[in-house]
Structure 1
Amino acid sequence: MSRLGTLGARLYRGEVGYDFIGKRKIWYGISILITITAIVGLAVSGLNMGIEFKGGAVFTTPKTSVSVSEAEDLATEASGHQAIVQKLGSSGGLRIQVSGVDTAKSDQIKDELSKGLDIPTEKIAADLVGPSWGEQIANKAWTGLGIFMVLVVIYLAIAFEWRMAVAALVALIHDITITVGVYALVGFEVTPGTVIGLLTILGYSLYDTVVVFDSLRESSNGITKQTRWTYSEIANRSINGTLVRSINTTVVALLPVAGLLFIGGGVLGAGMLNDISLSLFVGLAAGAYSSIFIATPLVADLKERDPQMKALKKRVLAKRAAAAAKGESAEDEQEDDDFPEDVARTAAVVGQRQQPHRGHGRTPGKR
């Protein structure tokens, strides 16, 4: 078995672990800071909406020796608006976008481009996009997002409980806010591809979250019948038990997306790949982070407010204090707990598992 596999097995058995829940205030603070930065970037810079949302004209040319920067200057001068030019891969052609122009202005720009690029007018394809069409796309995107959120909350509330539904919804909003904020900060164009990417990452974000929630639900079954562990400790074990799996699935998903973003969009110059790949890359990373550092700790916070969980925590701490006063480990005082052994094995243990104390004149192996 590989080292990573061995680590995953030890995490699952509770032999080692990291106190994610105990340090949740740190993760909350980091997330709040990142979210505020994203919101400020969105408020200051705004989103660079594509022509599909603002309306305008798109000109496609055949192969030309004119560079992208030269074509941008030419189109900007001809239209009076900032133009966006992209190289069309191996064909050598150009895709020139100009916002806020009508049919008459489009014909004029086309003639200017024909002269400046030394390309016959009939070989330059021009497509007009009306702003009303972009508005319809935006409205449909918001509608789809709203329906998705409602269905997610309903499903999680039925399959798990309302606290997990609330935590998952907060994590989704966290992921979307960060992804949109990054778009505002880097200035990438927002297109329908971007919207598709945003909707796609929601599923990836929920995948990791639901895996942890499912483990937590199984581990906390019958929790009030024992006095070994609190709900937060069991939640922490659920995170550790699925940690390696979450890392593996996230890395495997990020690698091809990184190829699209950095190689396809950056090295090969296929700028149209940036529309969807950036949202996928940022969203996948944010989704993996939120499922571990936001969603589950938030469930633990909400659950610990329940009167039953408060009473359980008092019993657990009292029993540990009594065991410490006797000089015994907490594991020596568990004979009266009616807690399933398989659940006990998945309870929250942070750090190396302690061995039972062999003191007070006991015969080794006997209680």
Structure 2
Amino acid sequence: MSAPGTIDTDGTAGPDQPESLFNRLYTGTGAFPIVQRRRLYFLLTGAIVAICLASIIFRGFTFGIDFTGGTKLTMPAGDADTGRVATVVEETLGQEPQTVQIVGAGNARIVEVETGFLTSDEIYATKLALVEEFQPVAASGEVSIEAVGDSARSESWGGQVTQQMIIALVVFIVIVFGYMALRFEWRMSVAGVVALFFDVITTAGVYSLLGFEVSPATVIGLLTILGFSLYDTVIVFDKVDENTRGSKHSSSSTYAEEANLAVNQTLMRSIHTTTIGILPLLALLVVAVWILGVGTLLDLAIVQVVGIITGTFSSIFLATPLLVWLKEFDPATKRQTAKVLARREKAGATA
């Protein structure tokens, strides 16, 4: 008999007594019917993917200068502010700059201005206007303004980075599918790869919806989070494999119930892993925004925070429910489920 408010490992409930949320999380007794409500989570994940794909297709991405090409002007910040800098650049060029941001802290603060590709004359005129307006003086006592970026080279380089990312992603997915098929079974491979695709689409969709700038650091971070998502999924699948080993001969619980129990047993571990993974990234965000200014660290931290959250969601609410859905097409699983239900119906009629 179960303790009050718990659910037996065979999926049956104990005495109907209230039990705290934290107790259910820590005991991992299968109190959360995640697999049993898989249709709800399938609809939810489908809606999320649809929204993200729609944003990617119709809204697109905000690509950084490394992908689109252009010119970047930097100078010591001094007492300059982004509004005044943008005004000077717009009056000089006749067009608004793409971005104006202050990076760094203290005497190391600099202003970064990104524009479309400028000619040598336009670069010279903009530099002269900024010098006259702000008198930027570096620590050495000399004016320090530089222009970098070439439209054709940047677009070519951005295309190469994108191509290499796609190749790396395909190779990673093939390796993951092969490993999980050998370690577990092909259905787990399919569910795990679907969860990875969900993570990539969702993370990319969030970037598109919120208009975050896509930089090389974003690409690196996106590939990094796939490892985290896979780790979390494999942990859950390992527990599912342990619980369902020999389940074909069991008459006490179905495959779905044992899989749901496995998710519950690893739920607290997933929460701890996600929390521990996000905390240093939040610290990195604080450092990037308040101390060093907006830059590569911010791009890297944002994509990993979004990816870790989506990876945790997919490993709990998508991968295992999808595995169970695929498994229920297996004739052996169907027979075992029918045997368990028939035994319970008989026991209920006898009682």
Describe the shift of the 1:185–1:9 C-alpha distance in structure 2 as closer, same or farther (beyond 3 A): closer
1:105-184 correspondence runs (5 A):
105-119=122-136, 123-129=144-150, 130=153, 131-184=155-208
Query: 1:109 Cα shift?
Result: 3.2
Counterpart of 1:86 in structure 2 is 101
| Amino acid in structure 1 at the alignment position of 2:149 | L
**Cα distance in 2 between the residues matched to 1:188 and 1:76:** 23
Contact 2:24 2:31 in 1 (8 A): no
Contact 1:56 1:98 in 2 (8 A): yes
Counterpart of 1:270 in structure 2 is 293
| Worse overlay, 127-136 or 175-184 | 127-136
Q: How many residues align structurally?
A: 321
**Cα distance in 2 between the residues matched to 1:136 and 1:56:** 17
| Amino acid in structure 2 at the alignment position of 1:313 | T
**Once the two structures are superposed, what CA deviation does each residue of 1:189-233 show, in whole Å capped at 9, x if it has no partner?**
110111111111111111110000011111111111121111111
| Amino acid in structure 1 at the alignment position of 2:202 | I
SS at match of 2:71: strand
Describe the shift of the 1:216–1:36 C-alpha distance in structure 2 as closer, same or farther (beyond 3 A): same
Give yes or no for the alignment of 1:35 onto 2:58: no
SS at match of 1:123: coil
| Amino acid in structure 2 at the alignment position of 1:61 | M
Describe the shift of the 1:312–1:172 C-alpha distance in structure 2 as closer, same or farther (beyond 3 A): same
**Cα distance in 1 between the residues matched to 2:216 and 2:119:** 22
Describe the shift of the 1:167–1:92 C-alpha distance in structure 2 as closer, same or farther (beyond 3 A): same
Q: Give the % identical residues.
A: 35
Contact 1:103 1:128 in 2 (8 A): no
Structure 2 residue runs of 5 or longer lacking an equivalent are: 1-19
1:20-99 correspondence runs (5 A):
20-79=34-93, 80=95, 82-90=97-105, 91-99=108-116
| Amino acid in structure 2 at the alignment position of 1:167 | A
SS at match of 1:59: strand
SS at match of 1:271: coil
Counterpart of 1:17 in structure 2 is 31
Contact 2:56 2:204 in 1 (8 A): yes
**Cα distance in 1 between the residues matched to 2:90 and 2:183:** 55
Contact 2:71 2:116 in 1 (8 A): yes
TM-score between the two structures when normalised by the length of structure 2: 0.85
| Amino acid in structure 2 at the alignment position of 1:112 | A
**Cα distance in 1 between the residues matched to 2:149 and 2:99:** 15
**Cα distance in 1 between the residues matched to 2:132 and 2:236:** 61
Contact 2:196 2:229 in 1 (8 A): yes
| Amino acid in structure 1 at the alignment position of 2:31 | G
Counterpart of 1:319 in structure 2 is 343
Contact 1:54 1:100 in 2 (8 A): no
TM-score between the two structures when normalised by the length of structure 1: 0.81
**Cα distance in 2 between the residues matched to 1:109 and 1:166:** 55
Query: 1:186 Cα shift?
Result: 1.4
**Once the two structures are superposed, what CA deviation does each residue of 1:95-143 show, in whole Å capped at 9, x if it has no partner?**
2222333555434433333334333795202212422122212211222
Describe the shift of the 1:119–1:229 C-alpha distance in structure 2 as closer, same or farther (beyond 3 A): same
Structure 1 residue runs of 5 or longer lacking an equivalent are: 328-367
1:267-306 correspondence runs (5 A):
267-268=290-291, 270-272=293-295, 273-306=297-330
| Amino acid in structure 2 at the alignment position of 1:96 | V
Contact 1:56 1:102 in 2 (8 A): no
